[in-house]
Structure 1
Amino acid sequence: MAFPTQSTGFSDALVILGAAGIVIPAFARFRVNPVIGFILVGLALGPHGLGALQPRWPWLYHLTITDPHAIEPFAEFGIVLLLFAIGLELSFRRLWSMRTKVFGVGSAELILSAAVIGGTLMLFGQAPAGALGLGLALALSSTALVLPMTGTSGEVGSGAFAMLLFEDLALVPILFALAALGPNAGGGWSELMSTLMSGGLTVLLLLVAGRFALPPLFAQAARTKSPELFLAISLLVVILASIATTAAGLSPIVGALLAGLLIAETEYHTEVEVITAPFRGLALGVFLITVGMSIDVAALASQWGALVLAVAGVVLAKSVVTALLLRLSGTRPGAAVETGLLMASPSETTLIVLGAAQAGGLVQPDAAAFWQTVTAIGLTITPLLAHLGRDVARRVERRQTRETATIPEPGPAARVLIVGFGRVGRLVASMLATHERPYLAVDADIDAVSAARKEGFAVLFGDASRAEMIDRLGLDHAAAVVLTMDDPVQQLRLTRRIRDAHHDLPIIARARDARNAAQLYRAGATDAVPEQLESSFQLSEAVLTEIGVAVGPVIASIHEKRAEQRASIMEMGGLSEAPKERGRRLRDA
């Protein structure tokens, strides 16, 4: 019987997991984009690197990836999860508002880039049909690499996303068109129309089913408070949607994007995004390793001049076309240049289109292999182009700014973040609303969140014990954080985490008693309010006013007694003064 370590798949999985565990922290320490690290790992450990030496030195079997095709499904799954994450950040309303950019600028960018690249190739002797196939393939840009760098908001992110979204939607028509143009094509256009009709019906059915089925499904998962079940349902929705669109003849990434959009319309989108993030990162790393494995160092050495010219030509053509179109649509010069450079590299889907063009007889195998290497090099330099784009954008904006900078318009007031929305959190939110102060509450009880949202409270479903969730709530722009959970251990951990990352942010925490309050002060809370003492103060106030003592002296004496109790708690916690007073003294000094 063979041991598991003698399995090729098992060995490759160990190499990939080891690479992920080493590459990400190592490159993060040196502030280098891990994208380059994963590609270099694939280059070094793939069949064109150390893997080529494995027959001579068998011990390299355990350190190299011997079957690059075996991990390609995992790479494709990473792209599917990436499109799912993009869908989570969107909504149908926002997608509708972007229709002009998607079908206007997006379609123009793809068509013009393909025309420029294809026309240039025709000048160098490529046949018209082959030039069209290569132009369309190389005009595509990398969704997997660009969007994690830019997001989907802001001038750069929204522009890049609109163009990438159109490219992803156009992938299936491109593949059918290339099949129809091939020398052995038969019925390609009729097959395309049939696929579009069945695909449209499938998308409509998914929209209707998701609208009614997803909210109760995720509600039941949320009530179990089981992260594993929540993750399983999230992945199940992605897989089923991708299978449905694939069966209809569309790309699986269309189904993944649709699944994300449907979940984004529910109250669970933030929790789903947080809980699936580690899988997206690992799967994307696998994809990047496969890109590195496709780079043949020997071919680079023998054709380096032609490869450099090809990469430079593609990058120049796409960046110029994209930047000009964005400028014509009203984008700022700096943002247009940055987006143009970000979109300049070929895409992971370029490899798919190249394969279709070769299978249809439009491109010869040696030409397809050459442009596959160009694509791999382009993907490798995408982070460098992003860095270059930011630098050039800053210089362009600096050159464009000739007048004295004006004072920017004030943005929205900083909001208070309320963690926990039970009895105490609801009261705090009501008081903030009464005084017209913005706030955002987060709670892991879906029933409480649903009830509060129906009453008009600004509440988000999510588990605040996860560091990723807290990071996504925008503490950099918060006015204060209020911790109202009835969980002392979680409160202490959360207080330390927030205080370590945000030294000046006010943290007001609910405490069970004086001892718990002292612990919270030591952890970095600005104020810790013991429930037992506050209930005693309220009871004392009611007694004194009922027996005829004036309200003014009663309130003054309670404030004095509260200050004494706070000082006592400080002494219990081994602190000479509260963090609030200490921060004020340091700022005054």
Structure 2
Amino acid sequence: MATPDPLFNETLLLLGGAVLAAPIFKKLGLGTVLGYLAAGIVIGPILRLISDPEEVLHVSELGVVFLLFIIGLELKPSRLWQMRGDIFVLGTAQVLFSGLLLSGLAYLANIASWQGSVIAGFGLALSSTAFALQILADNGEANALYGRRAFSILLFQDLAIVPLLALVTILGSGPEASTSTILVDSGRAILAVAAMVVAGRYLLTPMFQVIARTGAREVMLAAALLVVLGSAVLMQLVGLSMAMGAFLAGIMLAESSYRHELEADIEPFRGLLLAMFFMAVGLSLDLNAILSNLLLIVAGVPFFMIAKGLVIYVLCRLWGSTKEDSASIAALLPQGGEFGFVLFTTAVSAGLLTAGASSLLIASVTLSMALTPLGSALARRYFTGEQKREEIEEDFEGAGADVLMIGFSRFGQIAAQILLAGGRDVTVIDDSPDRIRQASSFGFRIYFGDGARKEVLLAAGIERAKIVAICTHRRDITDRIVDLIRSEFPEVKLFVRSYDRIHTISLRAREVDYEIRETLESGLLFGQKTLEALGKTETEAAEIGADIRRRDEERLQIQAAEGLTAGLHMLHTRPVRPEPLTKPKRQPVAHEADSAGQA
């Protein structure tokens, strides 16, 4: 048998480390991020079981790309516009003031010349999007007001990488030599963003419609990966970050009917690759560089994190955040970020930093990342307490509605009309692209997705829905969705469309909160109107209908306890007539049982 490939062995090591470390650190209350970091440090710098940690880091950076894509999917352009003040005013102030302060500290520490110190300072001013957002997710505060403000700062930092890379060119070659290059690069970036906007508006949704009609889930998954990675690579080619490209692609699809299905397809890749990214940061920790500059790093890393945190705290207070929220943001964003690695490496190529200075900075950034989860946990416990966070108003269409409706055929459309007329929000998912297109032409907002997939239900906001209405028309699909929701989300209220009498009894055994046979009320109304046409008054016909409805319910309860053939005596099988002189030799029991079982 052939010797296992080294890449295969390293993959097993990383997966094993994640499986072991994450539950332990989660149980200790330290969070999964710190667990992944610890696993990476043990596997890499301590045991040296991974030969090329840099390669692992490059691949795992796709986790950050997928993370930004999913965030983009959850942000409508209107919400992004509302956040423009936080992004461009608070974000700009944070990068500018933190960069200038840290540049001065780097120059005083004699890390590099003033030009190199400027790059070092502004590189340290950038925080880690992956670490900050994962901590927010672990604490369940991604939608808190301070969480959104922290995300706005991170988003501007991602944008700032472009002018900072241009700054490396200016300081390394002089402004005269680089002006034309900067103009060309800026023009290419603007054109690329414009191309993405046009593609997202006119090409992506029709493409997903065509793919969805094929019914091949693997093709939909391939298309989702193509969109994310393609947009990321396009932005990288014009000098923007890959994460920014994926974020823009998500924004373009935020109002698409295929949003929830895309989020469900991408989420497993995001989670796994992001875990690998945190482990890769631990793998790449250069213990030799830390030991050789131990005093400088031990004193310098906490100092620059405190200095950066103070700047963020003051700016947030000036921008109107509470003391608690300002402290939370400052404790969340004091670390260096993954874009600092790119900036420092580029500065070495431009001659602004020596290789030794770059290694020192990279080690400092890595160590600051490792300290952030612990610092954030301490700040949460001792400075901000466990008080309830103020939540921003939800307007992410399709998430957090009162009712999550699965299936939008004729039955669901009628039910949705009642709910919408009553002023309730409804999120609708359906797996028919043709039905989605037809409903959209009448002004309905529904999303493509398979309601029998847990990931799609989560993306559609089932955890925030008050009621799940299952309006699918096939019994087997309905049963599969009911079983999934009862197993994974037992607290959710289930209102279900039943196919027939047998299905109703089956659904009641599953303890759904409400069910109704799709033809019951329409059949009763039809019969009542027929009686009225034959001479009965409206009141008389309504009383007869109410009696039939009462008998039907009582008979259902008897059948649930005794079997389908029970309760036949409660049926009106013929008009009331005098008893015959001789009883029939054969009673039509079998025929009645068959028809009664399907009514």
Q: 1:559 to 1:232 in 2, by over 3 A?
A: same
- Structure 2: which amino acid aligns with 1:233? A
Distance 1:185 1:426 in 2: 63
Mapped contact 1:338–1:386 kept (Cα < 8 A): yes
Counterpart of 1:513, as a letter, is: D
Moved more, 132-141 or 308-317: 308-317
Letter in 2 for 1:317: A
Change (3 A) 1:388 1:32: closer
CA distance in 2, matches of 1:82, 1:442: 23
Instruction: From the superposition, tell whether residues 551 and 194 of structure 1 become closer, same or farther in structure 2 (CA, over 3 Å).
Output: same
Q: How many Å separate the matches in 1 of 2:66 and 2:447?
A: 23
Q: Which residue pairs with 1:131 in the alignment? A: 117
| Residue from 30, 33, 37 that aligns with 2:31 | 33
Q: Which residue of 2 aligns with 1:579?
A: none
Q: Which letter does structure 1 place at the counterpart of 2:54?
A: H
Q: Single out whichever of 33-42 and 419-428 deviates more from structure 2.
A: 33-42
Q: Which amino acid aligns with 1:214?
A: L
Q: SS at 2:61's partner residue? A: helix
Alignment of 1:482-497 (within 5 A): 482-497=469-484
1:357-416 CA deviation, whole Å, 9 max, x = no partner?
A: 233232332232222222112212222233234335534979xx9xxx9xx99x999722
TM-score (structure 2 length as normaliser)? 0.84
Q: 2: CA distance between counterparts of 1:66 and 1:244?
A: 31
Inter-CA distance 414–220: structure 2 relative to 1 (3 Å threshold): closer
* Structure number, greater radius of gyration: 2
- Cα-to-partner distance string for 1:420-462 (whole Å, 9 max, x where unaligned): 1111111111122344443322212222123223323342332
Q: Give me the whole-angstrom Cα distance separating, in 2, the residues matched to 1:218 and 1:163.
A: 32
Contact 2:282 2:366 in 1 (8 A): yes
Structure 2 residue aligned with 1:381, among 371, 391, 402? 371
Give the corresponding residue for 1:464.
451
Residue 67 (structure 1) shift: 2.2
Work out whether residues 176 and 189 of structure 1, in 8 Å CA contact, stay in contact via their aligned partners in 2.
Answer: no
The corresponding residue for 1:68 is 53
User: Which 5+ residue runs of structure 2 have no aligned equivalent?
Assistant: 565-599
Q: State the distance in 1 between where 2:166 and 2:549 align.
A: 76
Q: What amino acid maps onto 2:47 in structure 1? A: L
Change (3 A) 1:387 1:225: farther
Query: Equivalent residues in 2 for 1:152-551 (5 A)?
Result: 153-182=143-172, 187-297=177-287, 299-300=289-290, 303-392=293-382, 394-395=384-385, 415-500=402-487, 505-531=492-518, 537-547=524-534, 548=536, 550-551=540-541
> CA separation of 1:273/1:472 partners in 2, compared to 1, >3 Å: closer, same or farther?
closer
Q: Distance in 1 between matches of 2:329 and 2:89?
A: 16
- Give the Å deviation of 1:210: 2.9
- Against the structure 1 CA distance between its residues 21 and 240, is the aligned structure 2 distance closer, same or farther, given a 3 Å change threshold? same
- Worse-superposed segment, 509-518 or 135-144: 509-518
Q: Structure 1: how far apart are the matches of 2:271 and 2:563? A: 41
Give the corresponding residue for 1:61. none
Q: Does 1:560 align with 2:550?
A: yes
> Is the alpha carbon distance of 1:272 and 1:475 closer, same or farther for their aligned partners in structure 2, counting shifts above 3 Å?
closer
Give structure 1 regions of 4+ aligned residues with deviation exceeding 6 angstroms: 183-186, 411-414
Residue 588 (structure 2) aligns with: none
> 3-state DSSP class of the match of 2:253?
helix
Distance 1:525 1:153, change over 3 A: same
The answer to whether the Cα contact below 8 Å between 2:411 and 2:518 also exists between their aligned partners in 1 is no
Conserved 8 A contact 1:492-1:523: no
Partner deviation per Cα, 1:13-65 (whole Å, 9 max, x = no partner): 3333344444445555655522222222221112x2212xxxxxxxxxxxx32
| CA–CA distance in structure 1, aligned partners of residues 40 and 496 of structure 2 | 48
CA separation in 2, counterparts of 1:336 and 1:34? 24
Deviation at 1:125, TM superposition (A): 3.3
TM-superposed CA distance for 1:522, in Å, is 2.5
Residues 114 and 472 of structure 1: is their aligned pair in 2 closer, same or farther, counting only changes over 3 Å? same
* Structure 1 residue 108, shift from structure 2 partner: 0.6
Q: Residue type of the partner of 2:340?
A: T
Aligned pairs, number: 551
SS in 2 for 1:250: coil
Shift of 1:299: 4.9
Return the TM-score normalized by structure 1: 0.85
Q: What amino acid is aligned across from residue 114 of structure 2 in structure 1?
A: P
How far, CA to CA, are the matches of 2:496 and 2:488 in structure 1?
17
Secondary structure at the residue paired with 2:444?
coil
Corresponding residue for 2:47? 50
Which shows bigger deviation, 97-106 or 274-283? 97-106
Q: Which amino acid aligns with 1:132?
A: V
Conserved? CA contact 1:8–1:67, under 8 Å: no
Shift of 1:317: 1.4
Counterpart Cα distance in 2 of 1:459 and 1:554: 39
Partner of 2:12: 14
- Sort the Cα spacing of 1:474 and 1:366 in 2 relative to 1 into closer, same or farther, 3 A: same
State the Cα distance separating 1:491 from its structure 2 match: 2.7
The equivalent residue for 1:95 is 80
3-state DSSP of counterpart to 2:240: coil
Checking the alignment, whether the CA contact within 8 Å between 1:515 and 1:569 is kept in structure 2 is no
1:544–1:554 CA contact under 8 A, matched in 2: no
Q: Which digits, 9 at most, give the CA deviation of each residue in 1:254-306, with x for residues without a partner?
A: 32222222222422122111111111112112222221112234554565443
**Which of 104, 127, 131 pairs up with 1:141?**
127
Q: State how far apart, in whole Å, the 2-side matches of 1:450 and 1:94 are.
A: 25
User: Matched residues in 2 for 1:414 and 1:221: separation?
Assistant: 28
- Aligned-residue offset at 1:176: 2.4
Contact 1:521–1:573 (Cα < 8 Å) also in 2: no
SS at match of 1:418: strand
Deviates more, 1:201-210 or 1:469-478: 469-478
Cα offsets for 1:134-190 (capped at 9, x unmatched)? 111111001112123437643122211211111111112212212321379982343
Supply the distance in 2 between the matched residues of 1:535 and 1:183 (Cα, whole angstroms).
80
What is the distance in 1 between the residues matched to 2:323 and 2:248? 33
SS at match of 2:443: coil
Structure 1 residue 113 displacement after superposition: 0.6
**Separation in structure 2 between the aligned mates of residue 251 and residue 337 of structure 1, nearest angstrom:** 29
Alignment correspondent of 1:109: 94
Q: How many angstroms does 1:107 deviate by?
A: 0.8
User: Unpaired segments of 5 or more residues in structure 1?
Assistant: 52-63, 575-589
In 2: Cα distance, 1:187 partner to 1:413 partner: 53
Give secondary structure in 1 for the equivalent of 2:164.
helix
Contact 1:141 1:164 in 2 (8 A): yes
Partners of 2:245 and 2:468 in 1: how far apart? 38
CA change 1:250–1:394 in 2 (3 A) is closer
**Root-mean-square deviation over aligned CA pairs:** 3.1
Would you say the 8 A contact 2:127–2:336 is kept in 1?
yes
Distance 2:474 2:371 in 1: 48
Instruction: Name the CA shift for 1:326/1:503 in 2 (closer, same or farther; >3 Å).
Output: same
Q: Which amino acid aligns with 1:9?
A: L
* Residue identity in the other structure for 1:182: G
- 1:494 partner letter: I
Identity, in percent, stands at 30
Structure 1 counterpart of 2:40, which letter?
Answer: G
Residue 57 of structure 1 corresponds to none
Q: Distance in 1 between matches of 2:210 and 2:458?
A: 26
Return the match for 1:79 from 64, 67, 74.
64
AA aligned to 2:326 is A
Q: Deviation of residue 539 (structure 1)?
A: 4.8
Q: Which is worse superposed, 296-305 or 143-152?
A: 296-305
- What is the DSSP-based 3-state SS (H/G/I as helix, E as strand, rest coil) of the residue aligned with 1:182? helix
C-alpha displacement at 1:540, in angstroms? 4.1
1:119 aligns with 2:104: yes
Alignment partners' CA distance in 2, 1:505 and 1:254? 36
